[in-house]
Amino acid sequence: MERPAWAPRSIDISVPSVSRIYDYFLGGSHNFEVDREAARRAMEFTPGLPKIMQANRAFMRRAVRWAAGEGITQFLDVGSGIPTFGNVHEVARAASPGARVVYVDHDPVAVSHGQAVLEGDEDAGVVAADLCKPQEILGSSEVRSLLDLDRPVALLLVAILHFVEDADDPYAAVAELTEALAPGSVLVLTHASYEGMPVAREQTEAMVDVYEDIRLPLIMRTRDEVARFFEGYDMVEPGLVPMPRWRPETDPRDEDPYAFCGFAGVGRTA
């Protein structure tokens, strides 16, 4: 298997990656055949996976525009993945010129590609760190130099928490990040769920098994379990809802049924 120039020497290109599978679903080019094969296997059971990913991105953009409109100029995107068109720094700066953004991911491809995209950008940075180790994120030179944690920050956890198993205590990780943020900060979050899937539960479970087979467990949580991540936050209207129903810019009735899988919400600290 030939290694493309953009792939760091340190990564094993025979092992699939969540961020590269996500990149494939979004129509990106920074993925390998092993990622595409896993994505196609998952789509055999849940053909609308690309629609779900697109709904995630569309929600993220609306939420970032909303946060910028509320005067927030700092964004911490954890589990950011591989930069694609319309990423957080582009959306935020269109609404609020000079907005500062720190991206965090533990996939070396996502990190190296992010560094290439942001080269020369003094108001954005990329951190190689894991959501489950909040102090690695908060103590990074990028966060310390780019973000003022005494002022409100938008913390983005978009399509990431469902890859964290309960044994790794994602609730504690989110709480630790939250505690470091100033009053008036916001949490922007999406999460996969069996609720809203337009196919039989058995088919969705078979898709989850594909992720399990490639050692990337996909944890489907209920609405109540997702709501727990917002402890300490006041929910922004319309609350925790299917992605197309969060402050839509077009008629949600025109959306693909798969776009309504899982939940999205924004909370604000007092």
pLDDT for the residue 15: 87
**40: pLDDT confidence band, cut at 50, 70 and 90?**
very high
3-state secondary structure of 156: strand
In whole angstroms, what is the distance from residue 187 CA to residue 182 CA?
A: 12
Residue-wise pLDDT for 121-161, tens only, equals 999 999 999 999 999 999 999 999 999 999 999 999 999 99
Mean pLDDT, rounded, for 197-223? 94
Tokens (6 digits) for 36: 């595409």
Tokens (6 digits) for 202: 């058995």
Q: List the domains of the chain with CATH numbers.
A: 18-268 (3.40.50.150)
Closest by CA position to 92, among listed 111, 71, 113: 71
Mean pLDDT, rounded, for 81-110? 91
In whole angstroms, what is the distance from residue 158 CA to residue 143 CA?
A: 19
pLDDT for the residue 29: 86
Q: How far is CA 14 from CA 82, 106, 112, 120, 154, in A?
A: 18, 17, 18, 32, 35
Cut 0.75: pTM above it: yes
pLDDT for the residue 113: 83
Residue-wise pLDDT for 230-263, tens only, equals 999 999 999 999 999 999 999 999 999 999 999 9
In whole angstroms, what is the distance from residue 253 CA to residue 51 CA?
A: 14
In whole angstroms, what is the distance from residue 238 CA to residue 71 CA?
A: 20
Directed axis angle between helix 33-45 and helix 18-25, to 10°?
A: 70
**4: pLDDT confidence band, cut at 50, 70 and 90?**
low
Percent of the chain clearing pLDDT 70 (strictly above): 96
Block residue for tokens 């990074």: 140
In whole angstroms, what is the distance from residue 128 CA to residue 113 CA?
A: 12
